[in-house]
Each structure stands twice: as C-alpha cells, then as structure tokens.
C-alpha cells in the first residue's frame, strides 16, 4: 500500500503540472485571438506594466517604457483581459460546483443546475429584461433569483419526510421546473421585436459583453465559494458514504451538506448572472478529472477548478474566431460536451479506474 501511494503521488503531481501548463498556454493564446491583432510580446509587456502598477512597484522601480499604442492597451486591458478572467472564473465555478454536487448526491449525472440556481437566474434575467432593466439590473436580478431558487428547494426538502438527499433532489427538480415555466411565460408575453430576442440570446450564454465591472462583481462570490469548497474538499469524501456510515463516524452530514450547497449555489448563481446559462461544463469536466485524478476530492476539486477554467476559456476562444458573429457559449458547450459525454458513457467513464 505504501509503495502504491508513493508511486501515485508523483504521477498526480505530473498531471497537475501538465494541466497547469495547458492552462497557462490557453491563457496566453486567448490574448492573441481577435479581430484586432496585438503581438504576443506587446501583450506581455502591457500585462507586466499593469501588474507592476497594481502592486505599486512603480514607486520603487521605473515602469517599462511604453512601446505600444493606447489602442493596443485598451484592447488588452479593457476588452480581452476581463473576458478571459471571467471565462476562467465561470468555468472553474461551474466545474467545481458540479464535482461537489456529484459527490454530495452520490450521482455522476448531477450538474450545478440540479438545485435550480441556473433556472432561477434565467428567470430573474428574463423578468428584468421584460421590465426594461439595464445591464446591471439584469445581472443583479439573475444573481438574486438564483440564490432564491436554491433557498426554496432547500426549505422544501427540510419539511419533507423523505431521505434528506432524495428530498433535495426532488425539491430541486420541482423548483427548476417551476422557474422554467415562469421563464416560458415571460418569453410568451415579451415584445417579439426587442425583448424576446434579448431574452433568448441571454439564456444561450455569452461573454461577449463582459466588462471589468462584471468580472469584479462575479469574482467576489465565486472566489468565496471556491475557497469554501477547496477548504471542505476532504470532507466531501465523507458525503459519498451512506447516512448510516456518516453517523457512525460522528459526522454531522446535515451541516456539511448545507455548507456545500451554499458554496456551490454562490458560485453557480454568480456565474450564470454574468454569463447566462452555460451547460455541460459542470457535468462533463468532473468526469474527465476523475479519469485523470481519481475519486479523492482532495485532488478532484482543485483539478476541476483548473480544468474547468481552461475548458471554458478555450470554448470562448472558439466562439470568437469560428464566425464573424459570435456563437453563444451554451451552443458550443453542447456541441462539445454531448459527444464527449457519450464517449465517456461508451467507455465506462471513470469507473474503469476503480
């Protein structure tokens, strides 16, 4: 057993290193893609100067001499950087939430949509568009309704006499169905010239209109939720056992389950509020991570964060370059995720490594 553990640790370390290199390559590649070309060297110098300014190093050492135009700096810092960081945050959040839910519910088919956060946020955004709210009003309403949907599902499950896990699943399905129906009603009464197209496009998911303010808004709840999931990652392993085993180990699974739900809901609602509804990331990426890093959530959640951010970043790059008019991310993730998930099913998924 000791030999197996010693041999597996370097193997997982190498895999994390390769995943980190892939993430760094995707990060740098994303700055080079777009209609306005900025040389890679220029991009790195602009980012380096911004980092020095942010760390106040300019007071102690001279900043790099500006060899770029103001237009190049605006493209890198005001357009591409917020979008790239937002793609990383959203991908990491959805993937980590999906991995946590799959462990908590002991079901590999679970995604972050299970508790109704995505459908609740979708209804909130559709309602805000119908009422004529601005961009910030849409984002805030989507975020609040995402939280409210999960809160309703959790309250319903608390009053149920069924098993706690089963009650959560059924309540989540019911709340999701309810908010989906509400969204359909909003689309029915919306103006077909302006409001309906806006609602439809928002629900398909996109990062094309993301600005620095949006990234800052989403970063706080997403980082807070991800930090909580990372700190609780070893305890999530305990949620994968039965209720009887958890009680025999002295584990208060109810409090731990609530903490995981709160963290996963926070990151999912914040993600959907700025990006719209993007499917498959929270379902497919955790399966890939299990194939590479095993079932131990001490490795699985950090790997899901890193791989999820890399995946959505690459998908967003694809959305920017495939056509002149951007393809919504929800469509692209479905095109990529569905065949990949079918392949995982045919191959037996991560169960081959058990």
Residue 5 falls inside a structural domain: no
Residue 60 falls inside a structural domain: yes
What's the pLDDT score for residue 19? 95
318's CB contacts (< 8 A; 6+ apart) are 327, 332
Q: What CATH number should be reported for the domain holding residue 25?
A: 1.10.3470.10
- Count: domains in the chain: 1
The parent domain of residue 21 ranges over 14-353
What's the pLDDT score for residue 130? 95
Label residue 247 by pLDDT band (50, 70, 90): low
For the segment 79-125, what is each residue's pLDDT rounded down to a tens digit? 899 999 999 999 999 999 999 999 888 888 888 888 899 999 999 99
Mean residue pLDDT of the chain comes to 86
Q: Is 324 left (phi over 0), alpha (psi -120 to 50) or beta?
A: alpha
> Distance (Å, rounded) from C-alpha 262 to C-alpha 86?
21
Residue 63 falls inside a structural domain: yes
Residue 319 falls inside a structural domain: yes
Mean pLDDT, rounded, for 168-183: 93
For the segment 55-68, what is each residue's pLDDT rounded down to a tens digit? 665 555 566 677 78
79's CB contacts (< 8 A; 6+ apart) are 34
Residue 55 falls inside a structural domain: yes
Residue 76 falls inside a structural domain: yes
Residue 25 falls inside a structural domain: yes
Residue 1 falls inside a structural domain: no
In contact, 311 and 92? CB cutoff 8 Å:
no
> Distance (Å, rounded) from C-alpha 114 to C-alpha 268?
11
């Amino acid at each position: 057993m000791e030999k197996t553990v010693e041999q597996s640790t370097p193997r997982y370390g190498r895999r994390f290193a390769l995943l980190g290199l892939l993430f760094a390559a995707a990060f740098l590649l994303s700055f080079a893609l777009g209609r306005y070309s900025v040389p890679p060297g220029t991009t790195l110098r602009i980012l380096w100067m911004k980092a020095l300014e942010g760390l106040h190093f300019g007071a102690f050492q001279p900043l790099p001499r500006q060899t770029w135009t103001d237009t190049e700096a605006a493209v890198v810092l005001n357009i591409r950087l917020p979008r790239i960081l937002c793609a990383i945050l959203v991908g990491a959040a959805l993937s980590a939430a999906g991995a946590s839910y799959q462990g908590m519910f002991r079901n590999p088919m679970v995604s972050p949509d299970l508790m109704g956060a995505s459908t609740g946020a979708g209804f909130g955004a559709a309602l805000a568009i119908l009422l004529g709210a601005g961009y910030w009003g849409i984002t805030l309403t989507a975020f609040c309704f995402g939280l409210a949907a999960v809160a309703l599902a959790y309250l319903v499950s608390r009053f149920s006499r069924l098993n706690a896990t089963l009650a959560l699943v059924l309540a989540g399905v019911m709340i999701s169905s309810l908010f989906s129906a509400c969204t359909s009603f909003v689309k029915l009464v919306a103006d077909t010239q302006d409001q309906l197209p806006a609602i439809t496009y928002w629900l398909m998911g996109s990062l094309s209109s993301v600005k620095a303010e949006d990234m800052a808004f989403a970063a706080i709840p997403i980082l807070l939720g991800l930090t909580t999931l990372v700190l609780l990652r070893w305890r999530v392993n305990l949620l994968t056992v039965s209720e009887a085993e958890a009680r025999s180990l002295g584990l208060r699974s109810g409090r731990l389950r609530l903490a995981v739900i709160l963290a996963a809901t926070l990151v999912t609602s914040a993600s959907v509020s700025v990006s719209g509804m993007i499917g498959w990331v929270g379902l497919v990426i955790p399966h890939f991570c299990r194939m590479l890093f095993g079932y131990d959530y001490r490795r699985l959640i950090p790997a899901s964060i890193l791989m999820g951010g890399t995946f959505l970043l690459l998908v967003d790059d694809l959305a920017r370059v495939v056509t002149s008019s951007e393809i919504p991310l929800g469509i692209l993730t479905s095109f990529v995720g569905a065949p990949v998930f079918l392949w995982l099913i045919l191959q037996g998924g991560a169960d081959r490594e058990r």
